[in-house]
Amino acid sequence: MPHSDEATAFFVAVYEAVQEIPYGKVTSYGHIAHLIGKRKLEQVGQALKHLPADPANTFHHGNVPWQRVIAASGVIPRRDNPSGAARHAQALRGEGVVVTTTGGGLHVDLSGEHGWFPNVLPSKGGGGDWVNEETMFPVLF
């Protein structure tokens, strides 16, 4: 876990937001940043990278569905670790998410039934407004 109070608060915000992604749905690092009011999408990835495996921690692999967050392009971004990408895809497939192989990489169609882009987190009163991932403006689905 990060050492500074600001970093800790950011990691907690990321983990809490990711916990709200429904089973079988997928969103992007940038959308998680949008939902928590930050423009630090790379740091969302870092927060998930440093998610503890040990269930003795408040947030861990067992209660934060890290696999439900991927690149906005739909790519499962594990260029430096192909076996990590395969495990990521396997975890998503286990939830019924369709993962395809596109251009040698693993991909999820975020515009389809598996995409999750509410304008506001459900815990904050989010309902029917959804964000267009390309423009980050509310649209109704």
Domain assignment present for residue 64? The answer is yes
Domain assignment present for residue 77? The answer is yes
Structure confidence at residue 30 (pLDDT): 93
Give residue 101's domain range: 5-135
Which residues pair with residue 134 across a beta bridge? Answer: none
Asked if the model's pLDDT at residue 140 lies above 50, the reply is no
Q: Which residue has the higher pLDDT, 104 or 87?
A: 87
**pTM, two decimal places:** 0.84
What's the mean per-residue pLDDT of the chain? 85
> Look-up: residue for tokens 């809490």?
16
Instruction: Tell me the CB-side half-sphere exposure of residue 125, using CA atoms within 13 A.
Output: 0
> Can you tell me the mean pLDDT for 102-116?
89
Domain assignment present for residue 141? The answer is no
- For strand 129-132 and strand 105-107, is the pairing parallel, antiparallel, or unpaired? unpaired
- pLDDT-derived band of residue 15, with 50, 70 and 90 as boundaries? very high
- pLDDT-derived band of residue 2, with 50, 70 and 90 as boundaries? very low
Asked if the model's pLDDT at residue 95 lies above 50, the reply is yes
C-alpha–C-alpha distance, residues 27 and 43, integer Å: 15
Q: Tell me the CATH number at 67.
A: 1.10.10.10
Structure confidence at residue 26 (pLDDT): 97
Mention every residue, 6+ apart, whose C-beta is less than 8 A from residue 113: none
The 3-state DSSP class for residue 100 equals: strand
> Look-up: residue for tokens 């992007």?
28
C-alpha closest to that of 97 among 71, 116, 121: 116
Percent of the chain with pLDDT over 70: 83
Domain assignment present for residue 65? The answer is yes
Domain assignment present for residue 140? The answer is no
The one-letter code for the residue type at 66 is W
Asked if the model's pLDDT at residue 36 lies above 50, the reply is yes
Domain assignment present for residue 103? The answer is yes
For the chain, first and last CA: distance in Å?
37
Q: Which residue has the higher pLDDT, 8 or 125?
A: 8
